[in-house]
Structure 1
Amino acid sequence: MRLYWSPVELASRLARRGVRYNFASGAPDPGLLPINEIRRSFERIYEKYGAAVIAYPGAGGLRELRIELSRYINKALNIRVDWRNIIITAGAQHAIKILSQLLMRRRTIVYVENPTFVETIAPMKFQGARLIGIPMDDEGMNTHKLENLVRNYGPGIVYTVPNCHNPTGVSLSSDRKRHLLEIAEKHGLKIIEDDPYTSLYPNTGQTLKSMNNDVIYVGTLSKILGPGLRIGFVITSGKLRNDLEKIEQHDFAASTLTQYLVYDLLRRGVAYDVIQKAHELYPRKLRELIESLDEYLPSALMYRPSCGFYAFINTKANAWNLLRRGIKQGILFVPGNKFFINENRPNTARLSIGSIGINLIRDGIKVLSVIMNN
């Protein structure tokens, strides 16, 4: 399998040079990151646990963190879970990587939304999986077309971001969530639910996991406590849970230090405080982005985002060419072609509200409109 750079990574490298309007970053708003609380937790865990915080981590994750995380998952995500069925990973991307190693082989059929998040499908491709793209609209994945494709290609795995989709920002409707679960039961499909954004917005709708316990759930605390902490998790049971613990022996997964740190932050309620602030800020930022696009680029939105960090647009011209011009004007975004499965769509781009200041969004879209219209 050929290795390649993702457009997200390439855009991140460009961002390090410094840009005024960063619509590329998937990182959370820096104003919400609990820097002072993290510093206090560092001091607390070193004082309380000593050398244990820099010992080797155990496969599966720190027991104390898994127990505290089960409480968080129940409260913030409305998923009831036994702590023993939580596997700690080094972020959600690590979770997807090891799930791909365990569940996918050459020609394994994997059904994904089209477009989908480019960096999560990379390890699936590396395993040799055959990705089948499912068209989307403003209600998420078209589950009727999914069922037709399943009849053609047979059973496999569905990888989905049903709430606050990356890169489109849409959410799978309640009817389609139920239909997806019915299709999975009828045709023997495994479902991997990737869910980084549900807790950041109020009223995002149910997770698939809360509707059916057979769903393999991938979550993260990166968008709440900070992406550099690299704490994600998988909720599953039985043989797959045991196999995930075994495969973590290969890399020791998340560091012991950050696991103790996140345990202390969760125990002291810091994550809930951040979530409350996120519920205020991110909907405002997304509204600002949508209203700015409607004003300056009224035909650009390909999907109407409802939550999350992203909007996906038609750039009319080649997005990489526009990006080269945009960088000179201090604007950065992620070209969208690689988000598609077996489609060449060079005239698309992903815009993010994650880390850009709310006061810069409108001016940034105005600059983008000038670049696109010229």
Structure 2
Amino acid sequence: MPLAQRLNNVETSAIRELFKLLGKPGIISFAGGFPDSAMFDVAGIQAAVDRALKDEPGAALQYGATEGYQPLREQLAAFMQAKGAKDVAADQLIVTTGSQQALDLLGKCLVDPGSTAIVEGPTFLATIQCFRLYGADLISAPIDGEGVQVDALERLIVQHRPRFVYLIPTFGNPSGAMLSLERRKRVLELAVKYQTLIIEDDPYGDLYFDAPPPPSLLALSEHVPGSRDWLVHCGSLSKVLSPGLRVGWMVAPPALLAKATMCKQFSDAHTSTFAQATAAQYLKSGAMPATLAHVRQVYGARARVMGEALRGELGEAIEFVPPQGGLFVWARLTGAGGKIQDGNEFAKRAIAEGVAFVPGTPFYCANPDPSTLRLSFATVGEDKIREGIGRLAKALG
């Protein structure tokens, strides 16, 4: 069967392939990037469903506008306003089927075969796959514990003149890094200086453990004149409410938003109105702050336990920056004491010991660091985290 040539640019997700190995009984998995289903506010979501069907059953069950269910757009605008993006209005965003669809729409709208785009190294694996599917030539920008290195990013922008720069500034997947306030301002200044579009992906920003992170690029844009003309913001309720609702959104300059809406018409006509009405009722109920406070407390405790266990069990053979939020610990094997330093080989040994994680190489669009790995603490209880890290120590040799 003849298939589109663009499919030659992508491969099946290495993470999805890894899941095929997880059928072994008793395995402890740090591999997934999921929220913990035990913390879903089932009662609150059920109440939101009931209100949606009681108040506007026709709207909730009928076809809807491609741009999104208007009550949800208004609630999402208020949600962002409460976090500092005070000038965001409902008509400046569209609702997407998860933030993943927003990335797909941006690929359709912005990428021609051979177009250059800059992403962080490492970055979200599905982003690499999505943009490559449309023919993008991806350039890797280095990061550290404070996020993307802005001096290096500027040099890459000058050298490559990319269509866009894609960043996860707050608790990135897989790095867990948080872009500092100073660097956030500089990124927006670069956008204006070089008239380069910045895509801010922000699915984890509400999952901070102690102090809130710096304001989003979207919130900061009002302080950098002209930057909103060169900024896209993608958000999601998947990590903070429920991935099953598949509710995300995108804020973008008007011309780009219009084209993205047109492309969404071709994709799915609109995101599920039932899911949107449910999400709108949930946000309207005022239940989200308590939900967020609970998951922050649980994830923060699990992150601390994982960090302590890694230091205690693996010692100098591993290095990492303790995450301040999100779902992941991004680590590097040092080879200290003659221990294994290859993340891919370590992953195989770990499976044999009954524990799983994701090696870091798939998260790079170029020049992967084979010593890296991603560990998720989100879905594993504290005792199981300790046990799983103990198993990793055995696998390390």
After TM superposition, the score normalised by the length of structure 1 is 0.93
2:228 counterpart of 1:210: no
CA deviations 1:75-107 (Å, max 9, x no partner) are 246454100011100001111111111011122
Number of equivalences:
373
Could you say which residue in structure 2 is the equivalent of 1:280?
Answer: 297
Q: Indicate the residue corresponding to 2:170 in structure 1.
A: 163
Contact 1:138–1:304 (CA under 8 A) maintained in structure 2: no
1:99 is aligned to 2:106 = yes
For residues 308-346 of structure 1, give each alpha carbon's deviation from its aligned partner in whole angstroms, at most 9, with x where no partner exists.
111122344443443333334331211211111211433
The corresponding residue for 2:244 is 228
Shift in Å, 1:302:
4.4
Corresponding residue to 2:330 among 312, 319, 329: 312
Q: 2:48 aligns with which of 31, 38, 41?
A: 41
Classify 1:77/1:11 alpha carbon distance in 2 versus 1 (closer, same or farther; 3 Å).
farther
Q: Residues 64 and 156 of structure 1: is their aligned pair in 2 closer, same or farther, counting only changes over 3 Å? A: same
**Structure possessing the higher relative contact order (Cα contacts under 8 Å, 6 or more residues apart):** 1
In the alignment, which residue of structure 2 is the partner of 1:242?
A: 258
Question: Distance in 2 between the 1:86 and 1:258 partners?
Answer: 17
Q: Are the counterparts in 1 of residues 118 and 162 from structure 2 also a CA contact under 8 Å?
A: no
Please list every run of 5 or more consecutive structure 2 residues that lacks an aligned counterpart in the other structure.
1-5, 222-227, 334-339
Q: Which amino acid counterpart does residue 65 of structure 1 have in structure 2?
A: L
* In structure 2, C-alpha distance between the alignment counterparts of 1:225 and 1:16, rounded to whole Å: 27
Structure 1 unaligned regions, length at least 5: none
* Cα distance in 1, alignment partners of residues 347 and 274 from structure 2: 39
1:106-149 CA distances to partner (integer Å, 9 max, x unpaired)? 22221111111111121111111111111111111111111112
Seen in structure 2, the aligned counterparts of structure 1 residues 363 and 78 have a Cα distance that, compared at 3 Å, is: farther
Q: CA deviation at 1:30?
A: 2.3
Q: Is the aligned partner of 1:11 residue 2:27?
A: no
Q: Which residue of 2 aligns with 1:113?
A: 120
SS of residue in 1 equivalent to 2:64: coil
Residue pair 1:334, 1:351 contacting (<8 A) in 2 also: yes
What residue in structure 1 maps to residue 362 of structure 2? 338
Aligned to 1:313, what secondary structure does the other structure show? strand
Match of 1:195 among 189, 202, 215: 202
User: In the alignment, what sits opposite 2:379?
Assistant: 355
Secondary structure of residue in 2 paired with 1:298: helix
Q: Partners of 1:353 and 1:166 in 2: how far apart?
A: 13
| Amino acid paired to 1:359 | D
* Backbone CA RMSD of aligned residues: 2.0
Deviation at 1:34, TM superposition (A): 0.6
Change in CA separation of 1:19 and 1:93 when aligned onto 2, cut-off 3 Å: farther
Q: Residue by residue, what CA displacement relative to the aligned partner does 1:217-248 show, whole Å, maximum 9, x if unpaired? A: 00000011111110000012311121122111
The answer as to whether partners of 2:67 and 2:261 remain within 8 angstroms in 1 is: yes
Match of 2:273 among 231, 234, 256: 256
CA deviations on 1:232-283 (whole Å, 9 max, x unpaired) are 0001231112112211111224211111111111111222221121232222
**Is it true that 1:364 corresponds to 2:371 in the alignment?**
no
Q: Distance in 2 between matches of 1:200 and 1:345?
A: 27
Task: Name the CA shift for 1:16/1:194 in 2 (closer, same or farther; >3 Å).
Answer: farther
| Kept in 1: contact 2:73–2:93 (CA 8 A) | yes
Distance in 1 between residues matched to 2:383 and 2:81, nearest whole Å: 35
Q: Do the aligned partners of residues 219 and 13 (structure 1) sit closer, same or farther apart at CA in structure 2, a change above 3 Å counting?
A: farther
Deviates more, 1:224-233 or 1:150-159: 150-159
Paired with 1:350 and 1:195, the residues of 2 have a C-alpha distance of 19
* Alpha-carbon distance between aligned partners in 2 of 1:279 and 1:179, rounded to the nearest angstrom: 29
Matched, 1:271 2:288: yes
**Cα distance change, pair 33–173 in 1 and its aligned pair in 2 (3 A):** same
- Amino acid in structure 2 at the alignment position of 1:8: I
